[in-house]
Structure 1
Amino acid sequence: MADPMLYDYPDPLEGWKDQEPLSTQRNPDGKSLKNTQTPILSQSYTTFIDPLAQDSRGAFDIHIYYTATSTFETSFARSLHERIRREFPELRIYPMFDRPVGPHPKAMFEVNLFSPQQFGAFVPWLVIHRGPLSALLHPNTDDAVRDHTQRATWMGQQLALNVDSLIEFERRRAAAEKSATTTTNDGA
C-alpha cells in the first residue's frame, strides 16, 4: 500500500461548514446518533463523484484472483465467473487470465462497475460469494498508481501488486498526452 502522507486530501467538510451544529441526541436504540432528515438524498446514490471516471473505463474495477495451479481455486473462479455473467449480465466482465497480467501478481478476472446502483448491488453480493478468492476493488481516476494502492479496498487476503508496471503505464500515458498536445498545437 502507499504511504498515505504522500497525498493531499480535500477537507471532508468542504461545502458543509456553515451548517447548524449536529445534535448529540440518540435514536431509540440508545446507541446511534439521530441525524436531521432531509427530503433530498445525496447525489452519490445516483452519480459517481469526481474524480471517478465517467467514461468507458467504468468508475470501479474489481479484480478477482485465483491460484492457477490450484484445481480447487481455478474451478471455484470459473464457477464464480459464470455466475456473475448469468446473474449480472449488465456488468462488463473480461475473460479469465490464467497468469499474472500488468500489476496483478496472480491469475484473475476483472469486472467493471459504471454506476452507484451496480456498485451497491454487486459489491455486497461479492463479499458473500467470493469464497476463498481475494478481490481488489479500486477506482478509476487519472492516477492509476494511487487507485491501485492508497484508494484500493481488498476483500480477503491482500496481494502485493507490481506497482512498477503502473508507474511505467502512467509515464507512457503522460508522454502520449504530451505528444498529442504538441501535435495539435503544431498543426494549428
Structure 2
Amino acid sequence: MKIEQIHHVAYRCNDAKETVEWYGKMLNMDFILAIAEDKVPSTHEPDPYMHLFLDAGNGNVLAFFELPTKPKMGRDPNTPVWVQHIAFKVKDRDTLIEFKEHLEANGVEVLGITDHSLFHSIYFFDPSGHRIELACPDPEEEAMLARMDEVKWDMLEEWSQTKKAPKHADWLHAKELEKNT
C-alpha cells in the first residue's frame, strides 16, 4: 500500500475570479475545473462555495475555495509568515530569473534569489496572502542530495533530542551566509 501522488492541494482564497486570473497571468497556470455547491458534500453543511482547480504542471493540481459566508480568512498568528508556503519547481535559473522579472514588472514584490545550495528560490505573495516559492535545481543538486541523504536520520534524531539545529549540513547555506557578512 503506497500513495501514488498528490491529487490536489487546496487553500482558501478571497476572490475566486481574482485568484484564477492572477495564477493565469503571473504563473501561467491553466484554469481546469470549477465546482460550486450550496452544501458541503462531505459534511452536508449548508455553505455555498466555489472550488477552483488550476494546472500546476506535471499532473499537479492547485485548488482554492472561496467561502463567502465565512469570516475573512487570516493567518495563524503563532506561525511565522515564511513557514507556510506553496513551492513550485521551475526548469532552471534562467526560468527563475524570467519569472522574477515578470512578477516584478506586474507589481509583485519578490524576495530573492535565495541560494539554498540544493536549489535557488524566489518568494512572493498571491492576492489572498499565500506565500509562494518558485525554486530551480542547482546544477550540483544530485551530489548534494546524496550527501544530505547520508545524514538525514542523524539530523532528525539529534533535533528530536535537543530541538537545536544539527550541524551536519551547515555547508548548505554557507554561500548565502558569506554574501551577507
Greater CA radius of gyration, 1 or 2? 1
Specify which structure has the bigger relative contact order, considering alpha-carbon pairs within 8 angstroms and separated by 6 or more residues.
1
Q: Same fold (TM over 0.5)?
A: no
Question: TM-score, with normalisation over the residues of structure 1?
Answer: 0.32
